[in-house]
Amino acid sequence: MGTFSIWHLLVVLLIALVIFGAGKVRNIGGDLGAAIKNFRSAVKEEEETAPASSKGIPDGGRTLEAEVKHEETVKR
């Protein structure tokens, strides 16, 4: 199966226009655009108000210093 070309998309749009009419297709496009805009603004608002610990930053964003020591493997 190949990829969709612009002609495939135009045929689908033409069929949608015939079935639903231009007014309904315009309303669907507007509703979809508004939904995407609201989703993006909600995600942005959540990122701004979320505490640092929920953003994947451990311990509230403070820098932790540690030393890693390797123990030699005990042979059995």
26-74: per-residue pLDDT in tens?
A: 898 899 999 999 999 999 988 888 765 555 665 556 676 778 777 766 5
For the cut 90, the answer to whether the pLDDT of residue 3 exceeds it is: no
Nearest Cα to 14, choosing from 52, 39, 6, 74?
A: 6
- CA angle at 63 for the pair 58 and 67, rounded to the nearest 5°: 100
Residue-level length of the chain: 76
Spatial separation of the C-alpha atoms in residues 31 and 23, rounded to whole Å: 12
Which is more confidently placed, 19 or 47? Answer: 19
Are the C-beta atoms of 21 and 29 separated by less than 8 Å? no
Nearest Cα to 13, choosing from 33, 32, 36, 29?
A: 29
